[in-house]
């Protein structure tokens, strides 16, 4: 009986202490916003190919690590069916899909809203048919940088984020630096 009472007392003391130590949280964040390329996709001496800005979609899965300002995140952003124009005339369309792994740095504790920075790398895929119907699909390494802010409202949260996918686009032997910017808003949904 004495052991049972001691076990119950230790359980009552340990329960509040365990509740104060946060565990790993998994957060899913669907996003929607605007995609905009910074510059032309292809430039030749006679013409310029440009992707038009438009709708951007995103989804991330973040591991919110306890007692650490750095989290780990898998990130997906896409701009589908974007018009490609040659000197202002539509010549086709392109799907841009980015898949990266990121580190998310949250330097300040959460009060109501919490700012964050992110950096990572992954793959950028252009799937297109333009310039006479040729398949101009390519996959390239991409860097990913961004900043955002989120506000937690119970198990849900709201977020706003700006990020840039930096890669090179190769065409006819030439390589050109390509920046694809996404300005997104979305929900953060805690699963654990």
pLDDT band at 4; cut points 50, 70, 90: very low
pLDDT in tens, 29-87: 999 999 999 887 777 667 788 889 999 999 999 998 888 899 999 999 999 999 988 88
**Cα(79)–Cα(76) distance, integer angstroms:** 11
pTM value is 0.80
Model pLDDT, residue 91: 87
pLDDT band at 125; cut points 50, 70, 90: very high
Answer whether residue 17 shows pLDDT above 70.
Answer: no
Structural domains present in the chain: 24-190 (2.40.160.20)
**Cα(100)–Cα(94) distance, integer angstroms:** 20
**Cα(91)–Cα(100) distance, integer angstroms:** 29
Q: Is 36 exposed, middle or buried (0-12, 13-18, 19+ CB in 10 A)?
A: middle
> Which residue in 5, 25, 16, 40 sits closest to 174, CA to CA?
40
E strands present in the chain:
25-38, 42-43, 48-51, 54-64, 70-86, 89-105, 113-130, 138-153, 156-171, 174-190
> Which residue in 122, 82, 87, 116 sits closest to 102, CA to CA?
122
Model pLDDT, residue 7: 44
pLDDT band at 130; cut points 50, 70, 90: low
């Amino acid at each position: 009986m004495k052991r049972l009472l001691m076990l119950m007392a230790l359980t009552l003391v340990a329960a509040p202490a365990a509740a104060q130590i946060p565990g790993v949280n998994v957060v899913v964040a669907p996003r929607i916003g605007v995609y905009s390329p910074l510059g032309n996709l292809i430039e030749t001496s006679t013409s310029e190919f440009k992707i038009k800005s438009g709708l951007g979609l995103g989804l991330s899965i973040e591991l919110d690590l306890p007692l650490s300002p750095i989290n780990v995140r898998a990130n997906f952003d896409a701009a589908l069916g974007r018009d490609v124009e040659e000197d202002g005339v539509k010549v086709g369309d392109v799907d841009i899909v980015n898949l990266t792994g990121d580190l998310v740095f949250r330097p300040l504790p959460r009060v109501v809203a919490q700012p964050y920075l992110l950096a990572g790398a992954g793959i950028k895929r252009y799937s297109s048919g333009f310039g006479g119907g040729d398949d101009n699909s390519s996959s390239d390494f991409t860097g990913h940088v961004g900043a955002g802010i989120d506000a937690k409202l119970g198990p849900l949260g709201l977020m706003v984020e700006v990020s840039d996918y930096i890669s090179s686009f190769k065409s006819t032997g030439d390589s050109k630096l390509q920046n694809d910017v996404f300005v997104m808003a979305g929900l953060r949904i805690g699963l654990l």
